[in-house]
Amino acid sequence: MLKKLTKHGNSLALVIDRPILDLLKIDTDTPLDISTDGTRLIVAPVAVPLARGKKFDAAQEWAHKRYGKAFEKLAK
């Protein structure tokens, strides 16, 4: 499959077709690892171990409940 880059503001973007995104289970919330071997651009979903992901989600939820208002004030 040949693709061209698309202008996106001052940057360039690579549009990935839906069938490829579905095959790789990638959506807008999927963290991606972008690397190169010197001649190729390699884009892959970040593999997060399930147990670690669950622990992180639990810690994030706890922090949000406990410090959510402080986070909101810091963001302003």
Each of the 76 residues of the chain gets a pLDDT tens digit; together they read: 899 999 999 999 999 999 999 998 899 988 999 999 999 999 988 876 667 778 888 999 999 999 989 988 888 8
- The predicted structure's pLDDT at residue 50: 67
Q: What's the fold here for domain 1-45?
A: Pemi-like Protein 1; Chain: D (2.10.260)
- The predicted structure's pLDDT at residue 15: 94
Q: What is the pTM of this model?
A: 0.53
- The predicted structure's pLDDT at residue 1: 84
- The predicted structure's pLDDT at residue 47: 77
- The predicted structure's pLDDT at residue 11: 97
Q: How far is CA 19 from CA 2, 13, 22, in A?
A: 15, 18, 5
Q: Which residues contact 35 (CB under 8 A, 6 or more apart)?
A: 42, 44
Residue pair 32/43 in contact by the 8 Å Cβ criterion: yes
Q: Which amino acid is at 27?
A: D
